[in-house]
Amino acid sequence: MKLRNKISVESQDTISRRRFLSGCAVMASGLIAPSWVAAAARSEARSLAFRHLHTGERLTATYWANGEYLDDGLQEISHLLRDHRTGDAQSIDRDLLDLLHTLKTGLGSNRSFRIISGYRSPHTNAMLRGKSGKSGVAKRSLHMQGKAIDVRLPGTELRNLRKAALALKGGGVGYYPKSDFVHLDTGRVRFW
């Protein structure tokens, strides 16, 4: 498929400073974090389920097992979370997937995340920014790097999804109750 050729997967031989620090935090989580955070970090396999609200596509994919990330699962997720307006795809940040997995595990949910927006091409981001009056869409949105997602989780009240995401301190958390979604990203810790 043409779109799959646009998906790039980060080399498993490289380790980012963020991933190293994340690993250290996971190891320490058993000491200072709620027990559900530590349980999510120790899980044998990490799977996520999605339903994209714009395309109608559904996916359940295991992206991590036996101590390593799985290329096939990562590619399937990146394809599903592509820019639905242009068809462009970008590798989705592994830390973002881990954040989603920890969040759903902590909330005790086995439901599919409802996707409002995953990756956004620069073209789509500029178009949305123009429509929002530049106050609702960031010029350098982390969506354009595959490091942000807008979601809801059926069976979980939006305010509780936000509260659980804030507790993780894994990046930015935006709360949009009128539009019925929470924005999550792996940028600096902040909230709005």
| Every domain of the chain and the residues it spans | 15-191
The arrangement of strands across the sheet holding 172-176 comes to 68-69, 58-65, 45-52, 113-117, 148-152, 181-185, 172-176, 190-191
The pLDDT of residue 69 is above 60: yes
- pTM (2 d.p.): 0.77
- CA distance to 6, 51, 85, per residue, from 120 (Å): 14, 17, 9
Residue 138 banded pLDDT, cuts 50, 70, 90: confident
167: tokens are 């507790």
Asked if 147 and 125 touch (Cβ cutoff 8 Å), the reply is no
* 15-191: CATH architecture: 2-Layer Sandwich (3.30)
Counting residues of the chain whose pLDDT is more than 70, the rounded percentage is 76
Strand 148-152, strand 113-117: pairing = antiparallel
* Residue 20 one-letter amino acid: F
**Angle between helices 35-42 and 17-32 in degrees, nearest 10:** 130
Asked if 141 and 122 touch (Cβ cutoff 8 Å), the reply is no
139: tokens are 């010029």
User: What is the mean predicted confidence (pLDDT) over 40-68?
Assistant: 91
* Residue 92 one-letter amino acid: I
| pLDDT attached to residue 80 | 98
The pLDDT of residue 186 is above 70: yes
Asked if 150 and 117 touch (Cβ cutoff 8 Å), the reply is yes
* CA-derived radius of gyration, the chain: 16
User: What is the mean predicted confidence (pLDDT) over 107-126?
Assistant: 96
